[in-house]
Amino acid sequence: MASSDYKMGYKDVMNRRNEIMKRAVGIDYAAFEFDRIGFDYERMMREVGYSLSEVMAIQRAQGVGNTPLLKLNRLTALARKLSPTGMGAQLFLKDEASNPSGSFKARRAAVAVYQAKKLGYKGVIAATSGNYGAAVASQAAMQGLKCIIVQETYDSKGKGQPEIIEKARKCEAFGAEVVQLTVGPELFYEFLVLLEQTGYFNASLYTPYGIAGIESLGAEIADQMLVQTGRYPDAVVCTNAGGGNLTGTARGLRKRGAVETTIIGASVDLSGLHMASDGDFNRKSFTTGHTGFGLPFATMPDRSDVPRSAARPLRYMDSYVTVKQGEVFYMTEALAQLEGMERGPAGNVSLAAAFALAMTMPENTAIVVQETEYTGAGKHLQPQLSFARENGIAIRFGDPEEEIPGKSIILPSHPSLMKARPLPLVQLRKRLVENLVSPAVSAHAQLTAHELDFLADESRLTREAIEKIIRQVIPSDS
């Protein structure tokens, strides 16, 4: 049936979302679901995605990947100067700004766009305000496909964040059409309408293709660390938003044998700000890599733009820490002035966390900052700080602990004030189980052993802990 035969009202389109998604991705997600709440994640990744060797071949053909792993000697020396004797891990940085579109997301886009062309789609669509839009646009240009990027750009007053506007310019430079919207629920609706009207491929961040694309990043880190140091890294810090970055990197490390490497997620603390709020939209200086995405996506991964997300961060995360906005801006300047590398602030979230963590680790250990991103006119820290001032945000040097998201940005008055603040992972794992179990209307006794195994894989909690949570969510007399 042609799209013109459908009703295009908001409720009508949202009721068809799974049908639209299935046509736009070519994946029957129901084939991997079982019982009431079960989802065979590993089977989906095996049967739908690509092997690691296939991913790397696809990426190399498009000039993606094989980025340098660099020792940050001067930042390491600073961390050791501020640490107790014998402490201060060696810092390494994976420079993903070397990719064609300037970020690690070129890895995801290369595989997704390759799949779109392989299946015969004429174009691709992605809903993103971040670097992924530029990555998809770049890869679509290489593959000769049409491209539409849908962005949340403005608040209700028509004021747009400089970082998002910068990314729109980059997308348009690659030949993409950019559809810019105000913040709110219309983003997903407009995205679905465009998918239905064009028949284009949904180049989602959260398909198996997108996550498999990042596995090469984890594999390269493992391979390069073996060459440079003779061993795998002790820890890898991944900026965490929707969870795909961490998921793919961890899977790639495991596939190369780095099973003992600690996987640390890092997000900017934007507590108190609502990501879908018109009033809060321009009161934050980071559009990704923050708790507004990191926490809800970790505890409810299938809230994404596909029926089942391939990003499952709590399966892989060993630790989760937050940093302040001012700390990330500070480390952006430190990277430029101490290491001669000017990179975009959002990509330095993991660097800020890694620097703070390095001061707590022995000097014979190694910690890898998992990614960088390009910088540009709107992404540079100066226009972002200027935009913050225009929106009434107080900016000063001092103790970052005093920073209040939406009201202040406090750059550390001394690097010793840098901190990585742990989040309670056990509580997040508990919330994940609660969210997964809540659709089940039956009593705990009716959940199968297979479903309990799925919950254990998802949460990394013990069977006993899961059963206790389930008894609380689904009372025995229900």
As a whole number of angstroms, the distance between CA 104 and CA 318 comes to: 22
Same structural domain, 461 and 335: no
Query: What's residue 185's pLDDT?
Result: 74
Taking the alpha carbons at both ends of the chain, their separation in whole angstroms is 42
Any idea which of 61-65, 200-204, 375-379, 430-434 has the lowest mean pLDDT?
Answer: 375-379
Query: What's residue 443's pLDDT?
Result: 47
Query: What's residue 10's pLDDT?
Result: 82
Query: What's residue 316's pLDDT?
Result: 98
As a whole number of angstroms, the distance between CA 152 and CA 169 comes to: 14
pLDDT in tens, 243-265: 999 999 999 999 999 999 999 99
Same structural domain, 117 and 158: yes
Instruction: Name the nearest CA neighbour of 323 among 411, 218, 384.
Output: 411
Q: What is the arithmetic mean of pLDDT over 426-452? A: 83
389-414 per-residue burial string, b: 16 or more CB within 10 A, e: under 16: eebebebeeeebeebebbebbbbbee
Q: How confident is the model at residue 3 (pLDDT cuts 50, 70, 90)?
A: very low
CA distance to 169, 179, 304, 377, 457, per residue, from 437 (Å): 43, 37, 18, 46, 14
Phi, psi angles (nearest 5°) of residue 26: 80, 25
DSSP H or E segment with residue 455 = helix 449-459
Give CA angle at 115 (110, 116), nearest 5°: 100
pLDDT in tens, 90-109: 999 999 999 999 999 999 99
Query: What's residue 473's pLDDT?
Result: 79
Same structural domain, 192 and 69: no
Any idea which of 20-24, 133-137, 234-238, 440-444 has the lowest mean pLDDT?
Answer: 440-444
Tracing tokens 């071949």 back to the chain, one arrives at: 57
Query: What's residue 447's pLDDT?
Result: 85
**What is the amino acid identity at position 406?**
G
pLDDT in tens, 163-207: 999 999 999 999 999 999 998 778 888 999 999 999 999 999 999
SS3 318: coil
In a domain? residue 428: no
Q: Average pLDDT, whole number, for the chain?
A: 93
Same structural domain, 161 and 196: yes
Same structural domain, 28 and 120: yes
Query: What's residue 429's pLDDT?
Result: 98
Q: How confident is the model at residue 445 (pLDDT cuts 50, 70, 90)?
A: low
In a domain? residue 261: yes
Domain C-terminal end among 154, 176, 206: 206
As a whole number of angstroms, the distance between CA 82 and CA 149 comes to: 44
Same structural domain, 214 and 201: no
As a whole number of angstroms, the distance between CA 248 and CA 244 comes to: 6
Same structural domain, 213 and 195: no
Please tell me which residue, 236 or 281, carries the higher pLDDT value. 236
Lookup: tokens for 140 = 């679509």
As a whole number of angstroms, the distance between CA 298 and CA 400 comes to: 25
Domain C-terminal end among 173, 206, 239: 206
Give CA angle at 136 (211, 176), nearest 5°: 160
SS3 412: strand
As a whole number of angstroms, the distance between CA 106 and CA 136 comes to: 7
Name residue 69's beta-bridge partners.
94
As a whole number of angstroms, the distance between CA 235 and CA 264 comes to: 7
As a whole number of angstroms, the distance between CA 166 and CA 184 comes to: 21
Domain C-terminal end among 206, 229, 262: 206
As a whole number of angstroms, the distance between CA 442 and CA 255 comes to: 38
Q: What is the arithmetic mean of pLDDT over 369-380? A: 93
In a domain? residue 89: yes
**What is the amino acid identity at position 194?**
L
Same structural domain, 183 and 214: no
In a domain? residue 430: no
Q: Any idea what the CATH number is for the domain that residue 164 is in?
A: 3.40.50.1100
Same structural domain, 229 and 165: no
Q: How confident is the model at residue 232 (pLDDT cuts 50, 70, 90)?
A: very high
pLDDT above 60 (res 477) = no
Lookup: tokens for 452 = 């309990």
- Total number of domains constituting the chain: 3
Q: How buried is 6 (Cβ within 10 angstroms: 0-12 exposed, 13-18 middle, 19+ buried)?
A: middle
Confirm if 270 and 293 have CB atoms less than 8 A apart: no
Q: What is the arithmetic mean of pLDDT over 56-82? A: 98
pLDDT above 80 (res 4) = no
Q: What is the arithmetic mean of pLDDT over 17-42? A: 91
Query: What's residue 460's pLDDT?
Result: 97
Instruction: Name the nearest CA neighbour of 107 among 21, 221, 23, 266.
Output: 221
Please tell me which residue, 304 or 403, carries the higher pLDDT value. 403
For residue 456, the enclosing domain spans 435-473
Confirm if 78 and 106 have CB atoms less than 8 A apart: no
Same structural domain, 148 and 113: yes
Cβ of 362: how many Cβ atoms within 10 Å? 11
DSSP 3-state percent helix, strand, coil across the chain (nearest 5): 50, 15, 35
DSSP state, residue 126:
E
Same structural domain, 290 and 195: no
Same structural domain, 107 and 96: no
Query: What's residue 9's pLDDT?
Result: 85
Which ranges of 97-206 does DSSP label H, i.e. alpha helix?
105-118, 131-143, 162-173, 186-198
Instruction: Name the nearest CA neighbour of 46 among 322, 251, 240.
Output: 251
pLDDT above 80 (res 132) = yes
pTM for the full predicted model? 0.95
DSSP state, residue 89:
P
pLDDT above 50 (res 323) = yes
In a domain? residue 59: no
As a whole number of angstroms, the distance between CA 124 and CA 44 comes to: 22
pLDDT above 80 (res 441) = no
Please tell me which residue, 422 or 477, carries the higher pLDDT value. 422
Tracing tokens 């008894």 back to the chain, one arrives at: 471
